[in-house]
Structure 1
Amino acid sequence: MKKLLLTSLLLTISYTIFAQSKSQLGVRMGLNNAKVLNSGLDNKSGLYTGLFLAVRLTDSYTMQPEIIYSNQGGKASYRNGEDLNINYVSIALANKFFVSKNQGFHFILGPSLDINFDDNFINLINDNGANLEITPIDLAVFGGIGYEFDFGLALELRYKQGLIDLDFNDSGEYGGNAEENQLNRVFQIGLAYKFNM
């Protein structure tokens, strides 16, 4: 009985919060400047694009679940221009903290789960007979700043740091130190737009 009451109470509170909040669907798109840390790869340009749902819970806080396509990896000039391309679907939860009540300038913080659905890394066999592949998922944290205009357009600058080793350095394919983790690092600059619903 207590579990039923507690569940009912939580559902009522959640419904009340979301019913009083203003939710808007939107799109994000822009440019990535990506690098794989502790490898021989240089910075590489790519694109990101996707959808989000902005849930304005208070005057100064918006919770924003996102699903984003992001092209990352690194530039490998010493391999005849064959860059490492890693294509991720990122499922993120951006938390936006506004400096004033009237939108405008804000800080962005959050986590993301990045799923590698395609890459051009050539599967190799190491000296122990193991098949070498890039790690299929990455956990990342991100932070940034932005400015949102009254008509729904926002300018954003974000930094995203991967936390899981890509685990390809044993191949010797991209240089770097095999003793150190190869981590994604991405700077993002772009636009976001919220549709009026």
Structure 2
Amino acid sequence: MKKITLTLLGLVAFSTSALAQQEVKFGPKAGVNFAKINGEIKEDGETIKLDKGQVGFHVGAFAEIKFNDKFAIQPELLYSVQGGKAEQSGSETIMGQTFAYEAEAKWNLHYINVPIMAKYYVIPSLAFEAGPYVGFNIKSEVKTEGTLTMAGVTESESATEDMKDGTNSIDFGVGVGASFNLDNGFFVGARYNFGLAKISKEYTETVEGIEYKNPAYDIKNGVIQISVGYKF
């Protein structure tokens, strides 16, 4: 019993010493997202690419747990607005009438993202980072705007559709990036989040009493994040 007690006391002393050697800093971070959706939507024989970029934002907090001068782990909790955009234009002739159209569709996706980055400090002011993230979708909608011009008359139309039922609630992927750290606690970071999970899922909607089955599309998130933050 005495030997077990001494062993436990030794483990506690070692753990306390190891934790004391770690440097832990906390702080806020925020920035801009340059987002797009990678992949294609195929509908009625037509292929739509949501490959046009759109601007969003992210804001949240982080903790940097530094084990030594070179290595650290940085978990984060971020609210992130991302998505993708598609643009189409052209003209058609029906029954002798020619009309021109322009349309834009934005898929706005709101997530609570939890990245866990492993960091390596090349020099005290410059760190490279990589690690996984998981995201929880809290809002998903598609906004469409378009114009139709015929015989010199232009009509505009816009609509917003809730896409929560057609969006997977969980997203995950890998982030890679770098940060430049100042002596006063401020830092600037850049990161690319490469989504590995499909955004879309199969769902059924009812329009005017008729049920339509929508398939899951092979589309994934891709986001460039530019951040500023402060370490306390």
TM-score, structure 2 as length reference: 0.67
Q: Does 1:149 align with 2:206?
A: no
The alpha-carbon deviation at position 188 of structure 1 amounts to 0.8
Q: C-alpha separation between the residues in 2 aligned to 1:30 and 1:92? A: 15
Q: C-alpha separation between the residues in 2 aligned to 1:107 and 1:58? A: 15
Q: Does 1:25 align with 2:35?
A: no
Structure 1 or 2: more strand by fraction: 2
List runs of 5+ in structure 1 lacking aligned partners.
Answer: 125-130, 172-177
Contact 1:134 1:168 in 2 (8 A): yes
Q: How does 1:152-163 map to 2 (within 5 A)?
A: 152-163=185-196
Match of 2:62?
52
Assess, with a 3 A threshold, how the Cα gap between structure 1 residues 150 and 118 changes in structure 2: closer, same or farther. Answer: same
Match of 1:187?
224
Instruction: Give the structure, 1 or 2, with the largest relative contact order (CA under 8 Å, sep 6 or more).
Output: 1
3-state SS, counterpart of residue 18 of structure 2 = helix
Match of 1:138?
171
Q: Specify the code of the residue in structure 2 equivalent to 1:93.
A: I
Of residues 89, 114, 130, the one that matches 2:135 is 114
Q: C-alpha separation between the residues in 1 aligned to 2:226 and 2:199? A: 24
Match of 1:104?
125
Q: C-alpha separation between the residues in 1 aligned to 2:175 and 2:191? A: 7
% identical aligned pairs:
28
Q: C-alpha separation between the residues in 2 aligned to 1:5 and 1:44? A: 61
Q: C-alpha separation between the residues in 2 aligned to 1:36 and 1:149? A: 33
The alpha-carbon deviation at position 23 of structure 1 amounts to 1.1
Q: C-alpha separation between the residues in 2 aligned to 1:20 and 1:137? A: 36
The alpha-carbon deviation at position 191 of structure 1 amounts to 0.9
Q: C-alpha separation between the residues in 2 aligned to 1:80 and 1:99? A: 47
Q: Specify the code of the residue in structure 2 equivalent to 1:51.
A: A
**Paired positions, count:** 180
Of residues 27, 48, 53, the one that matches 1:43 is 53
Q: C-alpha separation between the residues in 1 aligned to 2:201 and 2:68? A: 44
Q: What is the RMSD computed on CA atoms of the aligned residues? A: 3.0
Q: Specify the code of the residue in structure 2 equivalent to 1:184.
A: N
Q: C-alpha separation between the residues in 2 aligned to 1:169 and 1:159? A: 28
Q: C-alpha separation between the residues in 2 aligned to 1:5 and 1:68? A: 44
